């Protein structure tokens, strides 16, 4: 189901000059929630969220993909946005990031430093005045941080 929704949402958002950052579907205190996190250069507005909500709602109503009650939420990923794609690491060069590794690098699994973009299949991260290369496949989780 989430793959189907992603397949609809990604081209829709591209046409709207936005991107789909993440989809969540989970049970919370008030019931099931389908949450889409969207972004665009310069950030998203309430009007952006409302426009995407209208389009996604209409699609979900027609396709009838979810057979029980749920709430649809469209949101910005926030200041600590996840980084998943090569483009994310390049786009946010110069920003502080927290990267969790699958295999330790110099004995550490969590690195916090300034992104310096990409070099081939490696993320460049400035740590303590030194730039380290982190292979994309060694990153288990990454996000911007404050």
Q: Cα separation of 104 and 108, whole Å?
A: 5
CATH 3.65.10.10 for the 86-144 domain, yes or no:
no
Q: Cα separation of 6 and 22, whole Å?
A: 9
DSSP 8-class letter at 95:
S
**For the chain, percent of residues with pLDDT exceeding 70:** 100
Q: What angle do CA 70, 13, 120 make, to 5 degrees?
A: 115
- All structural domains of the chain with their residue ranges: 2-75, 86-144
Our measurement of the distance from residue 12's CA atom to the centroid of its chain's CA atoms, rounded to an integer in Å, reads 16
pLDDT band at 22 (very low <50, low <70, confident <90, very high): very high
pLDDT band at 78 (very low <50, low <70, confident <90, very high): very high
Query: Over 90: is that where the pLDDT of 1 sits?
Result: no
* pLDDT at residue 95, rounded to an integer: 96
CATH 3.30.300.70 for the 2-75 domain, yes or no:
yes
pLDDT band at 72 (very low <50, low <70, confident <90, very high): very high
* pLDDT at residue 90, rounded to an integer: 95
Query: Over 90: is that where the pLDDT of 48 sits?
Result: yes
Q: Is 35 helix (H, G, I), strand (E, B) or coil?
A: strand
* pLDDT at residue 106, rounded to an integer: 85
pTM of the full structure: 0.83
Structure tokens that stand for 52 in this block: 């995407």
Interval 98-129: pLDDT, tens: 999 999 998 999 999 999 999 999 999 999 88
Q: What mean pLDDT do residues 38-66 have?
A: 95
* pLDDT at residue 55, rounded to an integer: 96
* pLDDT at residue 129, rounded to an integer: 87
């Amino acid at each position: 189901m989430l793959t189907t929704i992603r397949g609809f949402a990604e081209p829709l958002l591209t046409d709207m000059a936005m991107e789909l950052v993440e989809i969540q579907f989970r049970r919370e205190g008030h019931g099931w929630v389908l949450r889409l996190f969207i972004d665009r250069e310069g950030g998203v507005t309430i009007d952006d969220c409302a426009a995407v909500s209208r389009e996604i709602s209409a699609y979900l109503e027609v396709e009838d993909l979810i057979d029980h009650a749920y709430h649809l939420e469209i949101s910005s990923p926030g200041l600590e946005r996840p980084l998943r794609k090569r483009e994310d690491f390049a786009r946010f060069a110069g920003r502080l990031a927290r990267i969790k590794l699958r295999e330790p690098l110099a004995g550490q699994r969590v690195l916090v430093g300034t992104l310096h973009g990409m070099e081939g299949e490696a993320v460049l991260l400035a740590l303590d005045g030194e730039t380290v290369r982190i292979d994309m496949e060694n990153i288990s989780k990454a996000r911007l941080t404050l």
